[in-house]
Amino acid sequence: MTVFGEGTWPDTDEWTGRIYSGGWRLSEGGTATVTEPATGEQLAQVGVAAPADVARAAVTAAQAQRAWAQVPPPERAEVLLRAARALRVNSGAIREWIVRESGGIPAKGDYEIAAGLSQLAQAAGLASLPLGEILSPSLPGQASYAWRVPLGVIGVINPWNAPLLFAMRALAPALVLGNAVLLKPDPHTPVSGGVVVARLFEEAGLPEGLLHVLPGGIGTGQAVVADPHVAMVSFTGSTEAGRAVARAAGEELKRVALELGGKNSIIVLDDADVEAAAAAGAMSSFGYQGQACVAAGRHLVHADLVEAYTQALVRQAEALRIGDPREEGVVIGPVINERQAARIERIVDESVAAGARVLVGGRRDGLFYPPTVLDHVGRAMPAFSEEIFGPVAPVVPFRTDTEAVEIANDTEYGLTAAVHSRSVRRATAVAEQLRTGMVHLNDVSAKDAANAPFGGMGASGNASRIGGTANLELFTQWRWMTVTEGA
């Protein structure tokens, strides 16, 4: 096996076959191979955290967290800023790990790095915000205070589709607000979503014991959720897995933040700019092979524009080169694994058998699934109802704004949406009727910002929000104290 990154940052001699928990050490769960989806090449070996490793890490984290909570917030923020500097310095090596582990093109790696830097900067700013209130006392001469205190140990369970970004999005605010973190990266991306993160915070001087990186599968995640020292779980992944996490965490009365799937609509009203809307639609459905919770899973287009829009979307799809993401000019790389490729194939094939029509794409080559546009999509078809998580754009016509809203809301999910119209007032009126946690006018559905409260409704999450000042509420809890002179 050729270990990718040998002799480059992060130094493979230090972490190969190991987990990060009180330094780099061998785990009780053995090792796992990291494979490149584009080529099948073996990239690295990482340690796998067994339940005993998780238990040991949780005890260490709980002990370290008590001292960390007493460190002045500006000093905690400075650690995040040093991690950001390390991220900038090592961005080239980190980009390559993201590309090769996740199958995204270099621009996707650049986006994750920039977004990670933004998350670190935004989280550092939390240190300067007020953490409490002086309340009106109930008795003369009494003082009444309320302030936010850390939760303790936070378990962060991350997906493979934006491993660096999602790690920073949760652990940066958790750490700066005085918590310790157990980070479980996905088995597909344990380096860019785990090893890299550990090395960045090592270089930043984060005190030992506050961050533990514990790669592994379902068993490792279950151990993180169940451990009695873990006060909260932040989970990003499928709705099915999120429900299991919520059940397990709820049994122990733990706080849980769930960022789950989506069946997101781009709504194109009859006065929209067709070419601009189609470009946004292509980016939303085909970007990173459609492997994002915020990807557009439906294109709802006014019947008067549907032919022109569909033609423009097909042109967009045909212009996208497919292949190894490291090759010049490639825009569409592989999907993450065979299971996901087969799922996309099933959804398209079953929808076609039920009457949908493939206008472009629709046939895969191994893990490479081409940008695909479907029309004649009915509500009983899988392409209409299921989250595809692949580069497929189902087009559905409508006649009135009311009908567009009704079709968009015909789903258990409620994550994000986009509305296109030359009238901002009209687009806003439609947007306000959508049951989604986020909505964007004349833009893509797939948007993220470090200072925004990110999250969904319904099966897209448990109404928690992560990002910006919402992180204060998410990663702390209130304490109330009164002071009375004399008994």
**Angle separating helix axes 106-125 and 163-176, nearest 10 degrees:** 10
Residues near 77 by Cβ (< 8 Å), separated by ≥ 6? 123, 124, 125, 126, 127, 128, 176
Taking each helix axis from N to C end, the angle separating 73-89 and 106-125, rounded to the nearest 10 degrees, works out to 160
Contact (CB, 8 A) for 410 and 300:
no
The number of angstroms, rounded, from the C-alpha of 439 to the middle of its chain's C-alpha atoms is 17
Q: What is the C-alpha to C-alpha distance for residues 54 and 290, in angstroms, rounded to an integer?
A: 33
Could you identify the residue written with the tokens 């292949």?
A: 323
Burial class from Cβ neighbours inside 10 Å (0-12, 13-18, 19+) for residue 301 reads: buried
Cα–Cα distance, 35 to 50 (Å, whole number) = 21
Scored b (16 or more CB within 10 A) or e, 177-199 reads bbbbbbbbbbbbbbbbbbbbbbb
- Amino acid 118 reads S
At 454, is the secondary structure helix, strand, or coil? strand
Peptide bond into 10 cis (omega under 30): yes
Give catalytic residue positions. Answer: 259, 293
Q: CA-CA distance, 453 to 43, in Å (whole number)?
A: 35
**Which 3 state secondary structure label does DSSP give 45?**
strand
3-state secondary structure of 140: coil
